[in-house]
């Protein structure tokens, strides 16, 4: 591999939570990093304040050896077709942090390009914070198209620049990353968890219990359990909860999450695998997000949100945490 390929000139397109973390970590790892943003965009001021050269994406990618696409999924097709494909130099590397557009053929990369994926398994703030203290967040990586013969090394070099090699690097494919990521978000992390919490809250309130007590029991305390999961899996959770809670786990968990739930999860996965979900999501986006906005407003208007807002106002310790976690711009985290 040439010296140029060992230290590629990188353009990061997008400067949300992940984009900012990627750009800053890569720069601190010794890479020449340019940020591509549309003039006057909401994150341009932040990127310039962070000391980056900021150029319009079409200009920013022309001399780049590697272009990292860190914009929201639904703008990537237009970005690629109108900006990246006409302006990226021959033989460059196109990098994604999520494989949706490539896997579902919304983006057909030029044949001369290397195409890789590097996805840190954590939000941008954590990716940056762990790097700064000398550690790193694990990354998964994949190669979709290897024109140069060095695509794998480019992916590993980029992941190393993020700090991922300090933790763990796991090889995957665009298909596996995309389908498991979508499933995790929909069935467990976002869709599943929020629906479970709302149903639990409604069950208690409808039975006559105070909404404030219901909030604490089904939402607030969930963090304690999730932290234990995060630190040591189900084993650690079982070590730290009472025997009463353990017994309730064993006999009641399967009554709520049963074979029917798993069967419906398989239906969700099938819709992801055969492209139904992505087709519907693209159509929704192109229609102006009417259902998306309706669903979101229903969540925002749910009684648990009204009760939670009042209770959290009295949790003074949350104010500092919220400020520390505030991203520079919007970017997917799951």
**What's the distance, CA 60 to chain centroid?**
24
Does 130 appear as a known binding residue?
no
Contacts of 86 (CB under 8 A, 6+ apart): 58
Does 53 appear as a known binding residue?
no
Does 16 appear as a known binding residue?
yes
Does 181 appear as a known binding residue?
yes
Does 221 appear as a known binding residue?
yes
Catalytic residue among 22, 98, 103, 150: 98
**What's the distance, CA 288 to chain centroid?**
23
H-type alpha helices, 56-206: 57-60, 73-79, 85-87, 100-103, 124-132, 151-162, 174-183, 191-206
Does 243 appear as a known binding residue?
no
The whole-angstrom separation of Cα 88 and Cα 110 is: 10
Does 217 appear as a known binding residue?
yes
Buried b (16+ CB within 10 A) or exposed e, 150-160: bbebbbbbbbb
98 in active site = yes
Q: What is the DSSP letter of 135?
A: -
**What is the number of other CB atoms lying within 10 angstroms of the CB of residue 90?**
8
Does 227 appear as a known binding residue?
no
Does 43 appear as a known binding residue?
yes
Does 274 appear as a known binding residue?
no
Closest by CA position to 68, among listed 165, 141, 137, 169? 141
Pairing relation of β-strands 10-13 and 33-36? parallel
In sequence order, the β-bridge partners of residue 35 are: 12, 54
Binding site, residues? 15-18, 38, 43, 124, 181, 185, 217, 221, 242
Binding site for substrate, residues? 242
Catalytic positions, written as ranges = 98
Binding site for Mg(2+), residues? 181, 185, 217, 221
Binding site for NADP(+), residues? 15-18, 38, 43, 124
């Amino acid at each position: 591999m040439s010296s140029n390929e060992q230290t590629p000139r990188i353009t990061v397109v997008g400067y949300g939570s992940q984009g900012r973390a990627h750009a800053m970590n890569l720069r601190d790892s010794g890479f020449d990093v340019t940020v591509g943003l549309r003039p006057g965009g909401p994150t341009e001021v932040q990127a310039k304040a962070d000391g980056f050269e900021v150029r319009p994406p079409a200009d920013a990618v022309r001399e780049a050896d590697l272009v990292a696409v860190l914009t929201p999924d639904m703008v990537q097709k237009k970005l690629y077709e109108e900006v990246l494909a006409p302006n990226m130099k021959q033989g460059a590397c196109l990098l994604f942090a999520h494989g949706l557009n490539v896997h579902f053929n919304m983006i057909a990369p030029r044949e001369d390009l290397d195409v890789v994926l590097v996805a840190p398994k954590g939000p941008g703030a954590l990716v940056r914070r762990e790097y700064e203290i000398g550690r790193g967040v694990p990354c998964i990586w994949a190669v979709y198209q290897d024109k140069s013969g060095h695509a794998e090394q480019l992916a590993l070099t980029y992941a190393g620049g993020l700090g991922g090699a300090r933790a763990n690097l796991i090889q995957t494919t665009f298909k596996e990353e995309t389908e498991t990521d979508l499933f995790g978000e929909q069935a467990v992390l976002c869709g599943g968890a929020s629906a479970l919490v709302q149903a639990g809250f409604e069950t208690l309130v409808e039975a006559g219990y105070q909404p404030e007590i219901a909030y604490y029991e089904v939402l607030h305390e969930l963090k304690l359990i999730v932290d234990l999961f995060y630190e040591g899996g189900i084993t650690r959770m079982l070590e730290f909860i009472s025997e009463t809670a353990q017994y309730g786990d064993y006999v009641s968990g399967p009554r709520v999450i049963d074979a029917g739930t798993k069967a419906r999860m398989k239906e969700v996965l099938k819709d992801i695998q055969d492209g139904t979900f992505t087709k519907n999501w693209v159509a929704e986006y192109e229609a102006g997000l009417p259902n998306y906005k309706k669903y979101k407003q229903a969540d925002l208007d749910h009684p648990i949100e009204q009760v939670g807002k009042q209770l959290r106002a009295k949790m003074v310790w949350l104010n500092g945490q919220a400020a520390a976690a505030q991203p520079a711009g919007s970017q997917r985290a799951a």
